[in-house]
Amino acid sequence: MSTFSRSLFATAAGLALFGLSACGGTSTGGEPTTQPPAPGAALQSFDPCTFFTPEELTSFGVGTTSQDFTQVSFQPGCEWEGEKLSIGLQKNAKDTVQSLGQGGGFDKFEPTNIAGREAAEIIVGGATDQGVCNYAVSAGGGFVMYQLSGFMRDSVPDPCGELEKVVNQTASRLPQ
């Protein structure tokens, strides 16, 4: 994957913050209380690196061996490379699709709904017509970022259309 493509993904990843916290307390009667789960708690055990099946990866045109795609510590994930493109998947347990959109810095941030979940098609600033696309999909109190990057800007004629197929096929399995 080119340095330029990686930097675009790092920019997208850099728009998010990561943090998990959960705390319990004591009621006025001295009884332990249970706090509601912290935002993103359902994503804590979600592993982006094992989410796709080998059959899915092959159908997407990428290999079945994942590589670390944690460009920033607060948004861990993996990517899979093929001959023409790579697919990345990262999780963010603190922010939401909506809060991500408030950060700005996008050529395109188009809210949508996928598998009954809040989502957005995203092209980071300066990446229009560069063969890349991102989808943020609400999951487990945070979001999961799907990414597609063509190795050449024209190696995938419609990167957002191709990535949307991947997202539509798999998003229903993301944590609630």
Per residue in 67-110, pLDDT (tens digit) is: 999 887 889 999 999 999 999 999 999 899 999 999 889 999 99
**pLDDT digit string (tens) for 133-162?**
999 999 999 999 999 999 998 899 999 999
Please check whether residue 155 lies inside any domain of the structure: yes
In a domain, 41, yes or no: no
Reported confidence tier of residue 26, pLDDT bands at 50, 70, 90: very low
Specify the number of domains making up the chain: 1
Copy the structure tokens of residue 118: 């809040």
Give the DSSP per-residue string, 152-164.
STTSSS-HHHHHH
Asked whether residue 39 is domain-assigned, the answer is: no
